Amino acid sequence: MRYRSSRPSRRREPRPEKSELTREARFQRWEGATRDGLTSDTQALQAALLRVLQEREIVRIGETVARKVDVRLVAATNRDLSSLIAAGQFREDLYYRIAVITILLPPLRLRIPDIAGLAHTFAAAYAAKIGKAVSGFTPEAMARLEGYPWPGNVRELENVVHRAVILTPSGAITAAVLALGTISHETTRLIELLEGGYRESKEKFDRLYFTRLLELAQQDRSRAAEMAEIDRTTLYDHLSRLGFSKKAERKPQNPHPA
């Protein structure tokens, strides 16, 4: 014989999915804070953000009551937003919603007056972190910093100053410990590839890969397909997606004619 418990059974409410909790918690964490990296978001998230910015409220998963939010958004990108909008990769209505104040930040080589301030800031921060009595730069060292083109921009400057602080026992950083030009062009391009979200980084890589592939194949697309170990149709699909022009194939010349 089975006995039933006299205790009333509790109805277990369905729990929201982990991804739903994550999305909700994300907005709550942004309240009163700054949101960065907007241009690498997906179209779906862009649409959701647009609704939040317009209504200034959210509805949590499983609820029907709207909650007010206070979110400030700072969007940064190294790509041409006009091209992204034309390609359908960034919402035009979202752009006009967030582009209240636009700041164009040129590369570091065009901002020579900023180099000294950035270098001193990095030097002080790393000296304090490492625990070394390093302060400032000699005039020769600062002249070298301001005369260098900085292909890796601010990240390269920070790397150079970090290394210089490590190699300086105390006092001012000298020109002898500045490792300028140690970051190769390929490394710089790799740094640029890793900026942004997955889709943006993948598109940068694909564009760089197929540009180099066509150069090696001397613009012969049949040869390029063989080198990439893909069929010509797949190659053409990639080139069309990336916006490569439909130029006539150029057959490689025989360097040793008969």
Q: For residue range 40-52, list pLDDT tens digits in order.
A: 556 777 787 777 7
Look up the domain containing 50 and give its range. 23-98
The answer as to whether 216 is a domain residue is yes
138-162, pLDDT tens digit by residue?
999 999 999 998 888 898 899 999 9
Q: Taking Cα atoms as reference points, which of 113, 107, 125, 114 lies closest to residue 161?
A: 125
For the ranges 4-8, 56-60, 152-156, the lowest mean pLDDT is seen at: 4-8
pTM above 0.75, yes or no: no
pLDDT at site 126 = 93
Residue 132 per-residue DSSP state: -
pLDDT at site 2 = 52
Same domain, 93 and 112: no
The answer as to whether 52 is a domain residue is yes
Q: Taking Cα atoms as reference points, which of 37, 59, 34 lies closest to residue 46?
A: 37
- Choose between 159 and 257: higher pLDDT: 159
The answer as to whether 61 is a domain residue is yes
Same domain, 168 and 201: no
The answer, yes or no, to whether residue 248 has pLDDT greater than 50, is no
The answer, yes or no, to whether residue 9 has pLDDT greater than 90, is no
CA angle 33, 38, 243 (to 5 degrees): 170
The answer as to whether 1 is a domain residue is no
What is the pLDDT confidence band of residue 37, given thresholds at 50, 70 and 90?
Answer: low
Same domain, 65 and 123: no
Please identify, among 47, 67, 98, the residue that sits at the C-terminal boundary of a domain. Answer: 98
Same domain, 115 and 90: no
Same domain, 27 and 74: yes
The answer as to whether 80 is a domain residue is yes
Q: For the domain that residue 50 is a member of, what is the CATH number?
A: 3.40.50.300
87-114, pLDDT tens digit by residue?
777 888 888 887 888 888 888 989 999 9
**What is the full DSSP assignment across 187-216?**
HHHHHHHTSS-HHHHHHHHHHHHHHHHHHH
The answer as to whether 55 is a domain residue is yes
Number of domains in the chain: 3
What is the C-alpha separation between 164 and 118, in angstroms, rounded? 14
Same domain, 39 and 68: yes
The answer as to whether 18 is a domain residue is no
Residue 56 sits at φ, ψ, to 5 deg, of: 60, 35
Same domain, 120 and 172: yes
Please identify, among 67, 98, 129, the residue that sits at the C-terminal boundary of a domain. Answer: 98
The torsion of the CA quartet 210, 214, 216, 222, rounded to 10 degrees, works out to: 110
Same domain, 29 and 81: yes
118-132, pLDDT tens digit by residue?
999 999 999 999 898
Same domain, 126 and 92: no
For the ranges 60-69, 217-226, 241-250, the lowest mean pLDDT is seen at: 241-250
Q: For the domain that residue 147 is a member of, what is the CATH number?
A: 1.10.8.60
Same domain, 157 and 208: no
Question: Would you state the structure tokens that stand for residue 18, as one six-digit string?
Answer: 């982990």
Question: Would you state the structure tokens that stand for residue 170, as one six-digit string?
Answer: 């105390």
The answer, yes or no, to whether residue 23 has pLDDT greater than 70, is no
Please identify, among 129, 146, 177, the residue that sits at the C-terminal boundary of a domain. Answer: 177
pLDDT at site 242 = 84
The answer as to whether 2 is a domain residue is no
The torsion of the CA quartet 96, 192, 242, 239, rounded to 10 degrees, works out to: 180
For residues 169-190, give the mean pLDDT: 76
Same domain, 92 and 31: yes
Q: Where are the alpha helices (DSSP H) in 102-220?
A: 112-130, 139-147, 153-167, 185-193, 198-216
